[in-house]
Structure 1
Amino acid sequence: MDWYKIDPLDVLLFREAKPFSPGEGARAKGQFPPMPSVVFQALRTATPTAQPHPEFLGVFLLDGDNTLWLPTPKDLIGVKRRTKDDLPNERTESWRRLTRLVPCETLESWESVCYSQESLPPMVPPELNGEEYVSGSPKPWMKASALSAYLCGNSHFAADNFTDNPWDIQVLPHTHIEDGTRQVQDEEGFFTEVATRLKPGWSLVARVQLLGLPDEPFVVRLGGEGHRAIVSKLKATKNDTDGLDCLNLLWKQALPDVLEPGLFAYLLTPGLAETAEQVYGLYPQAWRDCLLGCVGDRQLWWGGVAKKNRRKVRTKNGLEELEEKSFALQPQYAFAPPGTVYLFNSKSIQLTRLQSTFGHLLPITQDKPWWETFRKLNYGKLLWGRR
């Protein structure tokens, strides 16, 4: 597998695929970075041959210094020490140090707090010292080298190990005028889409195995409306300490043979956690008895309405018109977002039995073609660490 950098030549359109009806608000949301299958399909258009064993890992971010940035783990929170200069009720995102959320069952102060026994125990801040207090969270992207240290149990990071989303959002309005009038159509007449523009010096990056991909830069269409991007193969450099070599080692890291306390998994790419048949949450129901806690965010929706089918009918006045017949639907999935963290109970008897399923966060059933596709595209890739 080789690394390829993807430089958009214009804004990119990736619609979040929630059920969308122009008559009910007419505001589509954008999703960025794009899902792995979207970028993979764009790259595959540049290959002239069939692909017997394709593979894909991504999509991540690369800055102008070839530093690789990955989603920040969701269990990291900032801690700050209170001073005389602090204003009452002041909101701040700065922090002095980072710590990790812990299961509430490990804290005496939570012994009398009740929560639903049908779900996992809440993950809460640990006991803090003296005048310390929780002060926001780190920025959403983390250097790959810092993530490697995080997986080894380190929580001491500098602020420059994190960065904000390196892109800007642009809302694009669309207006359809009724034929022969100056009025907007009643249905589907006005809607908006969200476009994304990467900041200067930033690129998308992915690791790909496709036969026939050119070594020289080439152009692909990426996202809605066929906007173009330049794809170029990356060559390893000797001083690549914060870049691709780091992840090359991390993504091959398997589940430790010795299941010691503090074992956790970090979700590198969007995954599917099946809680019931074709129902997805943040963690699989099969993992329920061997998890101490889970920290994540809102799920990523993908799939949904594909197209409309229409047919011609004859009205009473003899005119023909198009009438909506039905919607064609694709399977819709709710993906656990990258950066989700799973803390395991090393003493659970279920852990060893489920160990073979811990490579990827995907449904255990493997008899469907889409499962094999998701597996080859490394959906739900888990990286393992110890606190």
Structure 2
Amino acid sequence: MRLIIMTELSWYRLDPLDVLLFRDSRPFQPGEGSWAKSLFPPLPITVFQALRSLCDPYTQNLEFLGPFLIDAKNQVWVDTPKDLVCIGNKSNEEADINDRADLSKVKGFARTQPAATDDPAWKDVRHPLPGKLRPIVEPTLRENEQTQGRPAPLMRLDALVLYLQGKLDQLNAKEHFHDLPWSTQVLPHIKMQTTSRTVEEEAGYFTEVANRLHPGWGFVAGISVANREGVVRIGGEGHQAQVHALKKHLFADLERFQGTGQETLAYVLTPGLAPVVADAPVYGLYPHDWQEHLIGVVGDRPLLAGGLSTFTRRNGQLQLGYSAQRAYVRPGTIYRFAQPPSPQPQQLLGGVAPKARTTFEKLHYGQLLWGTA
């Protein structure tokens, strides 16, 4: 696994010039009609290709990390850890732990926890697979406290540093968290027949479901090429973004969270791949070879995305076609260990062919940050 030195990357801000649409490269499904949905925010490969297009001559073997969201003040925002919950004073109104918290009632934060092995309420609940994985339960609170729900889905980068250090008492619900800074925009397209005033029978009606970032918001990413600026095409639908170089290394503080062998909590920074069986491209929430070490996992539904690849037909001709979709582990997923695997992994990346694996490693898919539980 690869260590990444954040200060060796050059960091760039990408400001969209219009709406953005990142197709997941799969055919339309029955019942969906001709709706082209967007995978947003984009996967690392999409933004990497956009930044690499500024390289002249064409450059290979580049390192890349991103993309992440950045606001008008150049503050970076990442996915809120999935195990984080808000706490407040106890009242007669019970809040669902999965609902968004009312900020006026939040006075602190806590983590959901793997159930204690001696807790009689969970003694008969066991994971069907071998290992030590336990159910995730609400945190143990003081008598006058109760959970108030979840924080907003984005966390400021400096707040993530506090989280990984275990300093939850220094988190601020209003300053350190933010709602998703984009809106959905539906764009219908109608193609008319050239000989009449009627819609074409095939591909005559087509709808894009695009995303528009709110004013002042953009993407930030690092790549091992310096001094590049300009307008790039981002994604396969022809949309563009303005690229600006950033002088400040915004991610330098994260280098110290790449593991010392002692940490028992891992945070997924970028989309990763977790094969659930050996030697097969079947993916889930955690890899099969971590079963003996894991005691808890908190995640969400996977990101489903495919791609386009060239295939060799029986007659020897090359043909462009859809490759199989992969189920990526979402950023913000949290793994809890009794003891971390040895050697301590730096990336959540398995079940990938050797040639493709090199690309995934250099683009730092599944980058893990290790912290204090």
Query: 1:45 Cα deviation (Å)?
Result: 1.1
Query: 1:178 Cα deviation (Å)?
Result: 6.1
Query: 1:265 Cα deviation (Å)?
Result: 0.6
8 Å contact 1:19–1:305 — kept in the other structure? Answer: no
- Could you say which residue in structure 2 is the equivalent of 1:99? 110
- Could you say which residue in structure 2 is the equivalent of 1:125? 138
8 Å contact 2:307–2:323 — kept in the other structure? Answer: yes
Distance 1:115 1:190, change over 3 A: farther
- Could you say which residue in structure 2 is the equivalent of 1:199? 214
Identity among equivalent positions (%) equals 41
Aligned pair count reads 348
- Could you say which residue in structure 2 is the equivalent of 1:57? 65
SS at structure 1 position matched to 2:116: helix
Query: 1:166 Cα deviation (Å)?
Result: 1.1
Supply the distance in 2 between the matched residues of 1:336 and 1:89 (Cα, whole angstroms). Answer: 25
Residue pairs, 1:166-315, within 5 angstroms: 166-177=181-192, 184=199, 188-210=203-225, 214-215=227-228, 217-236=229-248, 244-245=249-250, 247-251=251-255, 253-257=257-261, 259=262, 263-276=264-277, 277-304=280-307
Distance 1:129 1:53, change over 3 A: same
Structure 2's unaligned 5+ residue stretches are: 1-8, 311-318
- Could you say which residue in structure 1 is the equivalent of 2:329? 336
Query: 1:189 Cα deviation (Å)?
Result: 4.3
Query: 1:282 Cα deviation (Å)?
Result: 1.2
TM-score where L is the length of structure 2: 0.84
Supply the distance in 2 between the matched residues of 1:89 and 1:289 (Cα, whole angstroms). Answer: 32
- Could you say which residue in structure 1 is the equivalent of 2:346? 359
Root-mean-square deviation (Å): 2.9
Query: 1:331 Cα deviation (Å)?
Result: 3.3
8 Å contact 1:12–1:224 — kept in the other structure? Answer: no
TM-score where L is the length of structure 1: 0.81
Structure 1's unaligned 5+ residue stretches are: 237-243, 308-325
- Could you say which residue in structure 1 is the equivalent of 2:46? 38
Supply the distance in 2 between the matched residues of 1:167 and 1:385 (Cα, whole angstroms). Answer: 30
Q: Which amino acid aligns with 1:20?
A: F
- CA displacement, residues 126-177 of structure 1 (integer Å, 9 cap, x when unaligned): 2333353322211111111111111111222111100011111111223345
SS at structure 1 position matched to 2:48: helix
Supply the distance in 1 between the matched residues of 2:372 and 2:113 (Cα, whole angstroms). Answer: 13
Query: 1:52 Cα deviation (Å)?
Result: 4.2
Supply the distance in 2 between the matched residues of 1:137 and 1:92 (Cα, whole angstroms). Answer: 5
**Alignment counterpart, residue 364 of structure 2, candidates 364, 369, 378:** 378
8 Å contact 1:266–1:339 — kept in the other structure? Answer: yes
8 Å contact 2:95–2:147 — kept in the other structure? Answer: no
8 Å contact 1:22–1:191 — kept in the other structure? Answer: no
Query: 1:378 Cα deviation (Å)?
Result: 0.6
